[in-house]
Chains A and B, each alone.
Chain A
Amino acid sequence: MIRAIPSSKFFLHVCAKQSAGWVLGDFCRLVALQLCSSGSIRRAMSFSPKRKGTYEEILHHRSQQSDVGWSLRSYTPPQYRYCSPRRPIDVGTAVLASPIIRHTVLQLSEEDGSSVERLEQEAEAIVKEMGHDLGMGAIRLFAFVLSKAWRRIYKAIYVNSEHLTKLQGLCKDYPVLLLPSHRSYMDFLLMSYVCFAVNLPVPVITAGADFMSMKGVGSLLRKSGAFFIRRQFGSDKLYWAIFTEYVQSLVRNGDAPVEFFLEGTRSRAQKSMGPKLGCLSAALEPYFKGEVADIYVVPIGISYDRLLEETLYAYELLGVPKPKESTSGLLKARHVLSGDYGNIHVSFNAPISVHEYFRAGVDRSVHATLPRYMSSHSVEEVACTQSLAVDVLLQQQKAIVLSPWSLVAAILLQHSQPGGMGVAERSQLEGVGVAELAEEVHWLKLQLENFGGRINWPGGYTTEAILMDTLTVHSDLVSVSNENRVYLKHVDDVKSKNAALDPVTMATAVRHLTLALYRNQLLHVFQNLGLVALVVTGSQENEISLEDLYKKFMFLRNLLCKDFIFRPCDVEKDFNGVLLGMKHTNAIVQENNHILVAPSVNKCTVFMSRMFEPFLVAYWVLCQFLLTHNRASWKIRDIIEGTQGLEAAMLNHGMLHHYEILSLELLSNAVNGLIHCGAICREKAAFHGNRANMR
């Protein structure tokens, strides 16, 4: 019976039935389009076996081959033992009836005299705007559609299984927070898809309210578990109260794991951004107040061999405004559904018990004398939450499986400077030999492994074979000639609304930044090594004392604290660790308590310092800009735009070669880093240029 109906129609029929009254709209059309188009499903390549170590492939290798059967299969994920089952709409009702909302409404009404009814209506509207509507219908629809769509463009989706059994057990005993890294729109759908595939409960997800306006898709996302938070709600007490209570209600009752992105937004530069604590501290409050015995936090690293948004990100970083999320935009973007996007790796890290983590540092009994609805975090709780957030980011980074392409990008970016490798310049003009590139890639891979990076490097293949595979995936960016030479592809000149950047500069910058995105993915592995290398290679002396090296290392860490994730209390540990590693690999030579500079300036340190050089250059230009314009105070935007203009001029004059420094995110981090160091100081609404001293 079922076989007689073409699977796609049958499925849509089932889903439509399951979800009578849905606004499927454009999305359904998109689905149909995908299903009816003729492209054949890509076969999993030999590079992507069913199992690699602890990783299992979930897209192509399933026991149940038919997508319909798979997405409609019996799915019984573990459930939190104290969960009282409720419909999504009941969450909203419970939130509105909660003591904290009632209290906040009364308080606001007393404060500004607005009527309780009006405030209650407002609260109701906010809850309605926020609420998720998780249902299995939408999940199964997504499971089906995404299987079809992704199989065309992805060779494999790998999920590490080592912690999954434990996690499934934990879901029964404790509320769980899923905290994935956030580097693509795809993360959101991918996480739910993976959870469905591995029999974890499908999470509810904190999403930015900008998705909400997408016609049809907003409601579909709600049905797949998203709830929407306004990006900025500053001092809106009612909104804040509703948001925290909404999250806490979900955590307390353990309806589903709560998923959110610690970084707040997608990391367009592809390296972790500093954590935003709002959601995390809201989600942890039920633990602090003793409402749940524990909460488990699961850091998850997601990596894509190739990003759907790669050029989009490059433009955004340069300041070309981000297109508003719209359904038609999504439909237009469907051409992406025909490329080759390689592999995805989803790495669940070991779940962290909040109770174990906070045990020593936090005394929860301080909340015993206040009513529970009164929100308060002790100083220790805030500090511990901050520290947990940083740890989760570090764990995400550690879990991330890098693509060989990151190595290639890092190498291609190495800039032409007198005596340098100059691969990037040459690769554009005369290309790089595949063999030469493979040798470099192999070298860098060894360094990566030496310093704890994880890379997708299938066993049994030569470096060249792996290189060729990754070059194929990125054929939008590079081409391989018949003579086995690798060329960077030319980017058409870009019309820019940004007055500071001319089309040619813009085009070069886009090409550089696109590569830089992939290189950035591996920077966390080398971040400490890079800083030491910067100090060593930049030294004018014959030797550097360890003390001096440590001081300068610390200074750089402080300065770059917004660009990289460091745990402040671990400076010494990190320093000693990296020094040891460098000595083992002969990257530095130490005698007594000194580093000998001459033998320590070698391939490794030079390569690493060049990799991190662009950051320092950008910071330096920013300081130049501030010093040349002797003004008492600045708007932050003016500093960044002004610096970008100065950079463009310097690049055009050939004084600088790092086009990636034009990234506005980098400059914004630079400003914040300098504020952190005390070089410039922040006033209430403006910024005041102090004397900005570099060294």
Chain B
Amino acid sequence: MLNSIEKSRKCHGKVDCHSTSSQSSVTGSLPKRRQDLLKWNGWGYKDTEFILNEKLQVELTGTRYKLSGMVLPLLKDWMLNNFNVNLDYVRPAQPEFSAADLPSPVINKPFLEDLQTSGLEHSLDCHDRLFRAHGHTLNEIWALREGSFNRIPDLVAWPTSQVEVMQMVQLANKHNVVIIPFGGGTSVTQALECPSTETRMIISLDTSQMHKILWLDEENLTACLESGVTGKEIEQRLASRGFCLGHEPDSYEFSTLGGWVATRASGMKKNIYGNIEDLVVLVRTVTTRGLLEKSCNAPRTSSGPDLHHAILGSEGTLGVVTEVVVKIRPLPECQKYGSVVFPCFQDGVSCLREVARQRCAPASIRLVDNEQFVFGQALKPENNSLVQSFLDGIKKAYLTRWKGFDINKMCVATLVFEGTLKEVEAQEKRVYETAGKFGGLPAGEENGERGYFLTYLIAYIRDMGLQYGIIAESFETSIPWDRVTDLCHNVKDRLRRECKAMGMQHEPFASCRVTQLYDAGACVYFYFAFCIRGLSDPVKAYEEIESAARDEILACGGSISHHHGIGKIRKKWLKQSISGVGVDVLQSIKRTLDPQNIFGNGNLFDAAVPISKL
């Protein structure tokens, strides 16, 4: 028993990867020249991508992930069948941009002179600038592969401490220069996009060189971290001291603590550790008016509205998050995956609802629908062992023949248990018992683990899809329990329907999963992909469809976003979501903290026109 637990922990996708990056606190996991380590026009590490090998099978290159170097024999057929594509139709990405392809920088000379005097590190290199002109929203990746940018940052700066950030902000304020804070660059809401109408000089303030753990307090279980540290780095460094943060959004390899605060991020294991708003004890934000911070590390205060919540979710419009005191936990003794198959989605949702009612959710519990279940099956690596494939055959036969599961309806819940050995055992027992009441059958660790892998690899798969004319994106929402199933059905229906209305002959891939459980509802995450062959403007088509899907979500009683945020793509629904008065409140905070609109990335809402510049 113990053996298997240890094994599964060792296999846990993230722990063993990226061993090159040192434990040293001198260089963080993200270099200044990110394009040396990461793809300039796609997701993740340069050395990792899905390719078609000479046998025309899908293979994951590199060595970073558990599946790296493996062949996924089923994936190609899944792709061909689900999207009605053929491999002759390719849309190769354009070659890397040169300076001539990019807008030339707007230079505020006095500012640049002051900056040079100050000695703050910065760059005017076009590739540095381009890398910070985008997140990973579909249209941004599309622009990199097949399009162009009409506005990118004019300069990139790398402050190394809060003091340097304060210097930067003061300079910017003095010279009326725009600052766009840049963390991991994994935004999927166009939050990092430079407003095309912006005529002032735009500085991308890259926080990646602020990646230190400033202190760790074992007695109070808190740590003070600089905001530019990535999730993976945090966990690695805390683990070496026997602790963890436990915040694992799907992007956690690259996304940073400051970014999590700025977007109100949510981690997969929030059932144990909480979402970002539950994890922060103190946040320091540099604004144009000075430092916004609290006076103590007390766990909770009543002192008027909590100003942390003005910063959480502010999406870089108010200032730069520089330092955060977070709660930490001792590393769990044991971590284990699990999975349960259900006859149909509705049964799965009922089970999750019951788990939430009993408040017995393990660290993570996610329910994927049938489409994603089938997709997950297609990610099985090549099976060299005859015994294994024989066993798989038996498992399938057992489910479909004996238990009467319909392969076209069944779905799976994936589980992560964490805690002491005893706790994990008890949790497992309770969850599997509850699942049994809804027709759920335990389906092994492997299925669970694969489910979580999919999460880390999905963006790599998207890049491969783009190569063959398939565009894909995800979006999410949160919604009360009684509406979860209807929302899933309706949104998927709406996606299929809008595609049909656009004249697409083949049904899109529309899939969802319930990823977070709360007392009053759940978070639902959608994957959506379709073949763009024959569409004159695929990105516009995608945006229209997603917009319709968001309307459907709101009509079903869902929220505008659970954790991705507003950015620019969801601005039009903000007023509907928080009322006109609500927008006014946000506007007035913005006016107070940033009257000149220095933090002018244009997220959330259109800031009122800056008050006259003398």
Binding site for B on A (CB under 8 A): 82, 84, 173, 290-294, 363-365, 367-368, 372
Contacts and interface: CB of A to CB of B under 8 A. Distances in A.
Contact of B489 (A84, A293, A363, A365): A293
A365 B576 contact: yes
Given A290-B490, A293-B490, A364 B555 contact: yes
B105 interface: no
Nearest to B347: A84
B493 A290 contact: no
B482 A372 contact: yes
A290 B346 contact: no
Contact of A293 (B482, B494, B554, B557): B494
Contact of A291 (B486, B552, B558, B576): B486
Contact of B487 (A84, A290, A294): A290
B557 A365 contact: yes
29 contacts: A82-B346, A82-B489, A84-B346, A173-B493, A290-B483, A290-B486, A290-B487, A290-B490, A290-B552, A290-B556, A290-B557, A292-B486, A292-B489, A292-B490, A293-B489, A293-B490, A293-B493, A293-B494, A294-B493, A363-B555, A364-B555, A364-B556, A365-B554, A365-B557, A365-B576, A367-B557, A368-B557, A372-B482, A372-B483
Contacts of A367: 557
Most buried by A among B346, B483, B552, B557: B557
Nearest to B558: A368
A173 B500 CA distance: 14
Contacts of B493: 173, 293-294
Contacts of B557: 290, 365, 367-368
The main secondary structure of chain B at its interface with chain A is: helix
Nearest to A372: B482
B146 to A, nearest CB: 32
Interface in B536-593: 552, 554-558, 576
A364 B576 CA distance: 12
Contacts of B486: 290-292
A365 B555 contact: yes
A353 B176 CA distance: 53
Nearest to B483: A290
A369 to B, nearest CB: 8
A292 B554 CA distance: 14
Nearest to B486: A291
A299 B609 CA distance: 54
Best-surrounded residue of B490, B552, B555 (most CB of chain A within 10 A): B555
Interface in B415-449: none
Contacts of A364: 555-556
Interface in B459-516: 482-483, 486-487, 489-490, 493-494, 497
Contact of A290 (B497, B555, B576): B555
Contacts of A173: 493
Contacts of A291: 486
A82 B347 CA distance: 12
Choose among A82, A293, A364 the residue with the greatest number of B CB atoms under 10 Å from its CB: A293
Contacts, number: 36
B489 A368 contact: no
Interface of B: 346, 482-483, 486-487, 489-490, 493-494, 497, 552, 554-558, 576
A293 to B, nearest CB: 4
A84 B439 CA distance: 15
Contacts of B555: 290, 363-365
Nearest to A371: B482
A55 B490 CA distance: 35
Given A290-B486, A292-B489, 15 more contacts: A82-B489, A84-B346, A173-B493, A290-B490, A292-B486, A292-B490, A293-B489, A293-B493, A293-B494, A293-B552, A294-B493, A368-B554, A368-B557, A368-B558, A372-B482
Contacts of A363: 555
Nearest to B548: A359
Contacts of B490: 290, 292-293
B150 to A, nearest CB: 33
A291 B487 CA distance: 8
B574 to A, nearest CB: 14
Contacts of A294: 493
Contacts of A365: 554-555, 557, 576
A363 B493 CA distance: 18
B363 to A, nearest CB: 30
B275 to A, nearest CB: 22
Contacts of A293: 489-490, 493-494, 497, 552
A282 B552 CA distance: 21
Contacts of A82: 346, 489
A367 B555 CA distance: 8
A184 B493 CA distance: 38
A86 to B, nearest CB: 13
Q: Which 10 pairs of residues, A with B, have the shortest CB-CB distance?
A: A290-B556, A364-B555, A293-B493, A368-B557, A293-B490, A365-B554, A291-B486, A365-B555, A290-B555, A290-B486
Nearest to A353: B497
Nearest to A99: B482
A372 B554 CA distance: 15
Contacts of B489: 82, 292-293
Contacts of A84: 346
Nearest to A291: B486
A364 B493 CA distance: 16
Nearest to A359: B551
Contacts of B483: 290, 372
A608 B489 CA distance: 52
Contacts of B554: 365, 368
B484 to A, nearest CB: 11
Contacts of B487: 290
A274 B505 CA distance: 41
A368 B558 CA distance: 8
Q: Which of A82, A292, A365 is the most central at the interface, judged by chain B CB atoms within 10 Å of its CB?
A: A365
Nearest to B493: A293
A82 B492 CA distance: 13
Nearest to B344: A84
A173 B486 CA distance: 13
Contacts of B346: 82, 84
A292 B346 CA distance: 14
Contacts of A368: 554, 557-558
Nearest to A365: B554
Contacts of B576: 365
Nearest to A369: B557
A52 to B, nearest CB: 32
A422 B580 CA distance: 70
Which one of B490, B494, B576 has the greatest number of beta carbons of chain A within 10 Å? Answer: B490
Nearest to B492: A293
A292 B489 CA distance: 8
A372 B486 CA distance: 12
A363 B346 CA distance: 26
Residue from B346, B483, B486, B487 with most neighbouring chain A CB atoms (10 Å): B486
A290 B486 CA distance: 7
A257 B555 CA distance: 24
Nearest to B576: A365
Contacts of B482: 372
A333 B420 CA distance: 81
A441 to B, nearest CB: 46
A291 B490 CA distance: 8
Contacts of B552: 290, 293
Contacts of A372: 482-483
> Which of A291, A292, A367: most chain B Cβ within 10 A?
A291
Nearest to A368: B557
A292 B555 CA distance: 11
Nearest to A366: B555
B189 to A, nearest CB: 20
A291 B555 CA distance: 10
Contacts of A292: 486, 489-490
A290 B483 CA distance: 8
Nearest to B491: A293
A113 B493 CA distance: 46
